[in-house]
Amino acid sequence: MTVFLLILLVVVFGAWILQRRSFLLQLRSAERIIEEVAAGKKPATVALRRHRDFAGVAWRVEHLSEEHELLKQKFAEKTFNLDAILSSMIEGVLVVSKTHEIRVVNQSFCKMFNVPADALGQTVLRAVREAAVDEIIGETLDRGEVVAREISIATMQGEPRHYSVNSVPVKNPAGVTTDAVVVFHDISRLRQLEEVRREFVANVSHELRTPLSIFHGYLENLMENPKMPRTDIAAILKILSKHSRRLNALLEDLLTLARLESRRDRIDLAELPLRPMVETIAQEWRQKFATKNLSVTINVPDSVKLRADAFRLEQVLGNLLDNAIKFSRDGGTISMRAESQSDAVIVRVEDNGIGIPPADLPHIFERFYRVEKARSREAGGTGLGLSIVKHIVGLHGGNVRAESTFGTGTAIVLEFPATKD
């Protein structure tokens, strides 16, 4: 009996030991599996499932692992979307903490302010070195309010850059400002255009003022002297007529420019042989050449063809001939030449007139730019001819340049794309 009890005790104890050992082994593998889940790996729960006590644990660990994986995916997706959005934005974006440290920054911002991509964690002032930027952010963080402002930043190239800045506070559920999200929009181009428009309006006003004040003065003179001799009246009317022609020319050129810029009048491209057009124009301009005893030479091979709008091309050649006459000396020569190259058609209108000083040469295609204002005005120039030429040639896909030696002569060279046979 005692022996039997002893054997039973040994068996029970042995079974208990075995079960305990198996339990501990399962517990260890459960620990390992949880570590795997924490490390982001897919857990191997098969061994665990076999044990009755651990089947539930295995099921929950699997569920947890799936949840973890899903969360990871969602997080990665969100980060990817945020990164994609931030890096594709033209605007510069900055997220700054309460202590003015950069938490998020996108590529556009780094480019705008020459900031290295590893600026995260640095203070705004240290990374950007612009007090105006730090000030705006400071206002948002201190007051918890949206700040919208325009700033100008000096650049190494000389031209300042202009930005519209919007700084928005980020608040926690308690309403305390924790961060600022700042968006920078580059408005330099807009400012430049405004400047060009302002300058243009000022130039036009200036050009109109001169003839109008002349009109005003002479008309008052006529009204105050009803008995003015006929010869004096005739002289005044001649001056008025000249200025009304100038006014007209100015308005015509302004209208042409406005039309070209608005592209309301589309250009009508057709393949044109150049020689007949040049010859016709030279014929039509004979009298004008004669006023200065100018001789004209034409060297345009029959084979030269252009894809061009005939009316606009005539306008270009007319403007260039007009200049060539205005700036030629008596008895000078004007030549019109053209040649077809492999990928371009080159047209040159050349004179041996007064030429253009090197310092003025880069500017002559600008609106209202004249080397000698008085001389150009006196000759009936508006200062818009070459900008019209440049615009029209540009609409044909070509370009224009000037070659000139001061005192010797000028060549305006037009380059059109070659026509395809």
Residues that bind ligand ADP (CB under 6 A): 323-324, 327, 351, 353-356, 364, 369-371, 376, 381-387, 410
- Residue 339 CB, nearest approach to ligand ADP (Å): 20
Terminus-to-terminus CA distance in the chain, angstroms? 120
What the block records as the tokens of 334 is 């004007």
The dihedrals phi and psi of 43, each to the nearest 5 degrees, come to -75, 145
Burial class (CB in 10 A: 0-12, 13-18, 19+), 414: buried
CA separation for the pair 23, 29 (Å, rounded): 10
CA separation for the pair 278, 321 (Å, rounded): 11
- Residue 211 CB, nearest approach to ligand ADP (Å): 15
Q: Nearer to ligand ADP by C-beta: 147 or 356? A: 356
How many whole angstroms from its chain centre is CA 191? Answer: 12
- Residue 286 CB, nearest approach to ligand ADP (Å): 19
Q: Nearer to ligand ADP by C-beta: 35 or 378? A: 378
- Residue 253 CB, nearest approach to ligand ADP (Å): 8
Q: Nearer to ligand ADP by C-beta: 108 or 387? A: 387
CB atoms inside a 10 Å sphere around CB 370: 18
- Residue 232 CB, nearest approach to ligand ADP (Å): 31
- Residue 255 CB, nearest approach to ligand ADP (Å): 15
Q: Nearer to ligand ADP by C-beta: 399 or 419? A: 399
Q: Nearer to ligand ADP by C-beta: 65 or 387? A: 387
Q: Nearer to ligand ADP by C-beta: 74 or 375? A: 375
- Residue 357 CB, nearest approach to ligand ADP (Å): 9
Q: Which residues make Cβ contacts (< 8 Å) with residue 36, sequence separation at least 6?
A: 42, 43, 44
- Closest by alpha carbon to 245, among 233, 235, 234, 253? 253
Q: Nearer to ligand ADP by C-beta: 133 or 411? A: 411
Burial class (CB in 10 A: 0-12, 13-18, 19+), 130: middle
- Residue 324 CB, nearest approach to ligand ADP (Å): 5
Q: Nearer to ligand ADP by C-beta: 167 or 410? A: 410
- Residue 353 CB, nearest approach to ligand ADP (Å): 5
Q: Do 258 and 393 touch, CB atoms closer than 8 A?
A: no
Q: Nearer to ligand ADP by C-beta: 391 or 396? A: 391
- Residue 385 CB, nearest approach to ligand ADP (Å): 3
Q: Nearer to ligand ADP by C-beta: 217 or 357? A: 357
Measured CA to CA in angstroms, residue 377 lies from 177, 258, 318 at distances of 64, 21, 18
Q: Nearer to ligand ADP by C-beta: 182 or 364? A: 364
- Residue 307 CB, nearest approach to ligand ADP (Å): 25
